[in-house]
Amino acid sequence: MKKTIVITGASRGIGRAIAIELAGKDTNIVINCVNNVDKLNEVKSIIEEKGSECETFAGDMGNYSDVQKMFDMCLQRFGQVDVLINNAGISVVGLFQDMSEDEWHRICNTNIDSVFNCCHFAVKDMMKRHCGKIINISSVWGLYGASCEVAYSATKGAVNSFTRALAKELAPSGIQVNAVACGAIDTEMNGHLSDDDKAELAEEIPAGRFGAPQEVAELVKSLSGINNYLTGQIITLDGGWI
């Protein structure tokens, strides 16, 4: 039987890599973004070429009603949700004292409210069948904090705590919840760094380089597989950096 997988923030970067990695004849995939609809449709074409049936949904995962519409569509088309991958996220870089209230609420809405919203609807379906996997894409800054990324660090710390707590609650129902805490990954989110900054940062990483979105995707694929005992874990993928 095909698995149905929902991936948020899938038009580029890590989400795009995950969606393509999980595509195949044994999966149905629902992918989401807010604004990059053309890029999302490009990802859909690649997914379908690999044999998956695919639906796209343009909407804000921080908006409860948008998320409800996406899951209604998913359940109507595919009948169930087997795997939820919460990847939607943004970062704001700058001094804390310069951050506006609107910026604070925007990053909280995108990075943690989206996780609540999506889990709220996915869990309802998973509980009926006593199975399912939730994988939250987090960051090492959620574990250790980063100067000039206070809001981002706070939201990713919340994602990590959410993951551990929800995993304990859902384990008796056969549902696993884990997170991948990414280090420096070569995506547009790190586009504010100059080439010199990137080279300097890479020197701090024992692996000697940034991670690739594909490497995150391969780990997520493994977590979405058959191991039903691994739950409540924050798995760090950072090349030995932190």
The domain locations on the chain are 3-237
For the chain, give the mean pLDDT: 96
CATH superfamily assigned to domain 3-237: NAD(P)-binding Rossmann-like Domain (3.40.50.720)
**Residue numbers annotated as active site:** 152
Task: In whole angstroms, give the CA distance from residue 181 to residue 136.
Answer: 9
Of 19, 22, 114, 14, residue with least CA distance to 71? 114
What pLDDT is recorded for position 1?
A: 83
pLDDT beyond 90 at 193 = no
% the chain with pLDDT above 90: 93
Task: In whole angstroms, give the CA distance from residue 118 to residue 138.
Answer: 15
| pLDDT bucket at 190, cuts 50 / 70 / 90 | confident
**What do you get for the CA distance between the two ends of the chain, in Å?**
40
pLDDT beyond 90 at 168 = yes
Poorest-confidence range of 36-40, 88-92, 187-191, 218-222?
187-191
pLDDT beyond 80 at 6 = yes
Average pLDDT over residues 118-138: 97
